Chains A and B, each alone.
Chain A
Amino acid sequence: MYNLILRDLYLALYSSANFFYTSSFFILILVLLPFIFGTSIDQLQLLFKGTLWIGLSLSIILTMERIFNTDYEDGNLDIILQKNSSLEIIVISKYISHWLVYCLPLFIILPLLSLLFYLNTSDVFAIFLNLLLGSFGMIFIATFVSALTLAAKRTIFLKAIIMIPLFVPFVIFGSGDNSWLILLALSMLSFVVSIYVSTYGLRLYGES
């Protein structure tokens, strides 16, 4: 498990742009806001929270093929499946490594971004907590969709159509206030579904 996470981290480090890609992506999405809606502070603060969730959903959708699909296409998944003792361990390692590589950068730059949009500390903390708990659940969902759709190559839009309805509850509660407990519950529920469905997808993979 340790080795698999380390390998994914090295893979991300080697294509070192990855860390900058996700954070740049977020900043640029948010930079669009004042251009579209003007610079009124109240409006921007309202839009900031919603746009963060759209940005998070989009970046998870854009990167979800790197969870299992790319390893499947170049044959590395064969080695991963052979060398690890259980499918659950593979899936959990992928949750951790994918979150570290593609979600963590967002949380590092979030305080900085909130300065640009004049948010005070307590608001930032609430947004941070919601986004954090929601991002876990969304990674769980992306992982099982990736594992299920291994055999469907180059269909990122189809995968987006599958994933966005599953993201709806996260986005609804994430943009609300004081809803972190519900987000935690949603993430736990999606973990249970995800670990079961992802291992099923990987098991089917060998037969394709």
Chain B
Amino acid sequence: MYFRVTKNHINAIKAANPYLILSTVTAFVIGLYYALIQSPPDYIQGDSMRIMYIHVPSAWFALMCYTILAGSSVLWFITRNPTFNLVARSIAQIGMMFTVLSLVTGSIWGKPTWGVWWVWDARLTSMLLLFFLYLAYIFLWQAIANKDIASKISAALAIIGFINIPIIKFSVDWWNTLHQPASISKLSAPSIDVSMMLPLSIMTLASLLFLITVFFIRFRIEVLDNKILRAGDEI
């Protein structure tokens, strides 16, 4: 027997919801206080670099969500446990949201730093394609009427996308070195000062709490939508 979601789990998720929201808000308030007021402005970039405290966690979690999406799709193929399928579907929208957030904040950060909204750099381009992988995953599931088949096919697509990301990253890197070697040094990750580490850590924690909160809300909806609870577990 494998793990299955039951009525108790769903009730626990529902009960935990207010506490999760509360802790998310608290973490964001503390994090933003440190990020916007307590920490010093950057030596070169000034106040505009403060957007990093949103941008960096979003980019991390955008990638992490896709890893979870692909990982649970693989586990779903191996174990046929429908819970993994629901995890994949719940995480997809959150991942797409983080991708959009990191693209938008990156763009806003880019304008004062590089003088342009967008740079055709490997990381940015891969992120943009990641957005379309999320989009394809979500819409493919909606386009297929038979949800049983839709789950299998979108899971297969998620795994193919996961193979595709490093290939895209590699080829865009190669393409970059060929076409615009100058921009690489401009974009290399700067080392982070200790005074910025604290707000960044708190903001990362806050984003993680936000991810978990939204994930549980979505997961509960997916479970109730799909009636995968064991017979007799009535809500």
Q: Which residues of A contact B (CB under 8 A)?
A: 148-149, 151-152, 155, 158, 161-162, 164-166, 168-169, 172-173, 176, 186, 189, 193, 197, 200-201, 204, 207-208
Contacts and interface: CB of A to CB of B under 8 A. Distances in A.
Contacts of A164: 132
Given A165-B164, A165-B168, A172-B174, A149 B129 contact: no
A149 B163 CA distance: 19
Interface in B136-185: 136, 139-140, 143-146, 148-150, 152-153, 156-157, 160-161, 163-164, 167-168, 170-172, 174-175, 178
Contacts of B146: 151, 208
Contact of A151 (B132, B135, B150, B161): B150
Contact of A162 (B140, B144, B149, B178): B140
Given A161-B139, A165-B164, A172-B174, A151 B144 contact: yes
Interface residues of B, number: 30
Interface in B184-220: none
Given A161-B132, A162-B136, A165-B133, A201 B153 contact: yes
A144 B172 CA distance: 24
A103 to B, nearest CB: 22
The 7 closest A-B pairs by CB, nearest first: A152-B143, A169-B171, A172-B171, A162-B136, A151-B144, A172-B175, A165-B129
Interface of B: 129, 132-133, 135-136, 139-140, 143-146, 148-150, 152-153, 156-157, 160-161, 163-164, 167-168, 170-172, 174-175, 178
A164 B175 CA distance: 17
A189 B160 CA distance: 12
A172 B136 CA distance: 21
Query: Taking chain A's interface residues, is the majority helix, strand, or loop, or is none over half, making it mixed?
Result: helix
Contacts of A151: 144-146, 149-150, 153
A8 B233 CA distance: 52
Query: Taking chain B's interface residues, is the majority helix, strand, or loop, or is none over half, making it mixed?
Result: helix
Contacts of A161: 132, 135-136, 139
Contact of A152 (B135, B140, B178): B140
A204 B129 CA distance: 28
B172 A172 contact: yes
A172 B178 CA distance: 10
A149 B140 contact: yes
Given A161-B135, A166-B160, A193-B163, 13 more contacts: A148-B157, A151-B144, A151-B149, A158-B139, A161-B132, A168-B171, A169-B167, A169-B171, A176-B178, A186-B167, A197-B160, A201-B156, A204-B152
B164 A166 contact: yes
Contacts of B164: 165-166
A9 B140 CA distance: 31
A208 B149 CA distance: 7
Contacts of B175: 172, 176
